[in-house]
Structure 1
């Protein structure tokens, strides 16, 4: 099976193409075939098969960084 996109890099932003959810890459587990994603504004992480991720566009990554900073300014921590 070939992939169009390389595996996501930790701390980058990626999109789960199954749900179109944007998340920050927390970790990868190549043995289990999972990428661990976290919502930019904090919250519960979820797992995604690497073949169902794509790198976030520049606009998506900017939106994620703004959401993260807004959450940080409201709550003080993530």
Structure 2
């Protein structure tokens, strides 16, 4: 019996609504990395690290909205980075 591939979404469903730019989202393929939604790039969604850095693209089926605790952690990380001078 073949083992399901972890990189393949569990099911194909209807297209998900596009989030508002600035919404904190979680990319479940990259260790639940939290990023700020920036826009759509072809079939992918562009996410930007909360503490600054290079945007990355994620397949929408692997992206979900951040939970309240994930948003709190991300905002706290941003504030800490800003106090160190890492973020403008």
Q: State whether TM-score is above 0.5.
A: yes
Q: How many equivalent residue pairs?
A: 76
2:20 matches 1:9: yes
Aligned CA-pair RMSD:
2.0
Structure 1, unmatched stretches of 5+, are none
State the TM-score, normalized to the length of structure 2. Answer: 0.73
Larger RCO: 1 or 2 (CA < 8 Å, sep 6+): 1
Structure 2, unmatched stretches of 5+, are 1-11
Highest Rg: 1 or 2? 2
**1:30-77 CA distances to partner (integer Å, 9 max, x unpaired)?**
xx1111111111111100011110000000011111111111122164
State the TM-score, normalized to the length of structure 1. Answer: 0.81
